[in-house]
Structure 1
Amino acid sequence: MFHLPKTQDKVREAKRSLITLVNPQSPIAEQYRTIRTNLQFTSLGADLQTIVVTSASPGEGKSTTASNLAIVYAQLGKRVLLVDCDMRKPTAHFTFQLPGQLGLSTVLAKRTTLERSIQATQVPKLYMLPAGPIPPNPSELLASPMMKRVLEEIKQSYDMIILDAPPIMQVADSRIVASEADGTILVIGCDNSNRDYVLKAKEQLELSGANILGLVMNKRDKGKERHYHYKYD
C-alpha cells in the first residue's frame, strides 16, 4: 500500500549515482573519463565494441560503473547502448527513469523486437535496452542463439555497447555474456569485497574465455568522496 516513498527514494538514489551527468566536473566523473581513456589504451588497436561490467558479489557498484561508463562514452560523441543483462535484479531502467515493461528478456523470448525495446535516455547519443520482466530462465536466455543474434544486430547500430551483467559468484549469467563480448571489467568494492571471491571470479572469467580488460576499484573512502580507480589486469 505504501510504495510511493520507496519509488521516490529510488529516483533520488538514481540521480545521485549518475555523477558523470549531474556533476561532470567532479573528481569522480574525471575518474570515469580516466577509465574510458585507459580502456582505449588497453585495447591496443583491437576492436573494443562490447564491454561487460560485472563484479564478484552484489553491492560492489557494477551497475553504477556501467551507467557512468556509458555516459562518458556518449559524451565523447559515440553512439552508445547500455544493455541491462541483469535479468534477476534489474536496475538500469530505474537509474535512467525509463519504463521496463519491454527489454532484453522479452526480446530473447521473441515476444517483442529490439526496435520497440531500445529507448533513448536523457543523455544525447546514449540509448538503453532494459532487462525487461524477470524471466524464470535468465541463464538459458543469455546462452541462446537469439542472444548472439541480438549482439550482432546491435553492433551494427552502435559504436559502443556496455553490458551490465549480474555478480559472477552468484549465477552463471555473467560468464555466458563475457564469453561473447570483446572485453570484461571486474568491479571491486573496496569496503565490502571478499578477496577470495574476487580471485575466484577472475578465475571463472578466465575459464569462460573472457578477455579481462582490468579492475575498477570503487567505494574507496577518502574524506567524503568515493573514488573510482582503474587497474590493469
Structure 2
Amino acid sequence: MVLNKRKRSIAKKRNLVTYTNPDSIISEQYRTIRTNIRFLNGDKKNNTLLITSPGKWEGKSTTAANIAISMAQQKEKILLIDGNLRDPGIHHIFKTSNATGLTDVLTGKVNFEEAVCPSNIGSLDLLTSGAIPFNPAELLGSHMMSLLLKKVNSLYDLVLIDSTSLLEVTDTKIIANLCDGVVLVVRQNKTDLESAFESKKVLEYAKAQIVGVILNEKN
C-alpha cells in the first residue's frame, strides 16, 4: 500500500484530509488502503489493528486517524485508541480533550463508557491516551488491557490503535501481541532499510502478524 502525502508545511488541519478534502487524491489513496485492509480481513469481524512505525516522524498517527475516518465514512463503527502513553497525539489531531482516556480505564478510575468520546465524524469514536503514566509498558501489558480489547471488539466493526514507535520502547511489542494484525508505516527518505527489516524481526519475535506496509512518499 503506497500513500503520497503533501509537505509538512501545509496547514495543520490537512492532517485530517479525508475529512477536510474527501475528493482529493490523498483521500482516495486512504480509501484504497481502507479497501486493502478489508480484503485482508475478509469476512472476519471485530478486528483490532495496530498502526506503528520503526521510528518517530514517519506519519503513523496521521495515517491511523485518516484510515479511521475513511472507514467511519462508510458507516462502519470504528474506535481509534491512542496507545502511545509516552507522547500521545490523537487528541491534538482531533482537537479534543485528553483529560480522561486509556490510562484512566486501565487504572480503574473510570470505565470505558466514561472515557470514550465521539469524534463527530461519521461513526468514529476516540479513546485518547489520558494522563502520561510512570509505567506505560506495565499498563499496556496488564489484564485490564486484555479485557478492554475484548470488550471493544464486541462493540465496534474495527478497532485501530496508534502506538509508540516500534524500535524505541517495548510498549508497541506488548500491544502488537494482543492485536489481530499490525500495519507498519514507513517514510521515504526517512526510514532506512535496516530499521524496516529490524521492525519486521521484532514483530515476528512478538508473534504479531504484519498485514500491510504503508509507504509515505515526500513530494
- Indicate the TM-score class for this superposition, using the shorter chain for normalisation: over 0.9
* Alignment correspondent of 1:175: 173
- Who is 1:25 aligned against? 23
Distance 2:64 2:153 in 1: 18
The C-alpha deviation readout for 1:95-125, integer Å capped at 9, x for no partner, is: 1111001100111111111111100012021
1:157 corresponds to 2:133: no
Q: Distance in 2 between matches of 1:102 and 1:14?
A: 24
Alpha-carbon separation, structure 2, partners of 1:108 and 1:48: 21
* Greater RCO (Cα-Cα under 8 Å, separation 6 or more): 2
Give the equivalent residue in structure 2 for 1:207.
205
CA deviation map 1:9-48 (0-9, x unaligned): xxx9542200100000101100000011111222244446
Instruction: Name the counterpart of 2:117.
Output: 119
1:68 partnered with 2:85: no
Distance 2:109 2:160 in 1: 23
Moved more, 191-200 or 18-27: 191-200
Question: 2:45, 2:157 within 8 Å by CA — same for their partners in 1?
Answer: no
Q: Distance in 1 between matches of 2:208 and 2:46?
A: 13
* Secondary structure of residue in 1 paired with 2:86: coil
In the alignment of these two chains, the number of paired residues is: 210
- What is the alpha-carbon distance in structure 1 between the residues aligned to residue 200 and residue 156 of structure 2? 28
Are 2:139 and 1:141 equivalent residues in the alignment? yes
Structure 2, gaps ≥5 residues long:
1-9
Offset from partner CA, 1:127-174 (integer Å, 9 cap, x none) = 100000000010000000000000011112111111001100001111
Q: TM-score, normalised by structure 1?
A: 0.87
Tell me the distance in 2 between the aligned counterparts of 1:110 and 1:99. Answer: 19
Distance (Å, rounded) in 2 between the aligned partners of 1:34 and 1:106: 35
Match of 1:216 among 205, 214, 217: 214
SS of the aligned residue for 1:31 comes to helix
- The sequence identity of aligned pairs, in percent, is 37
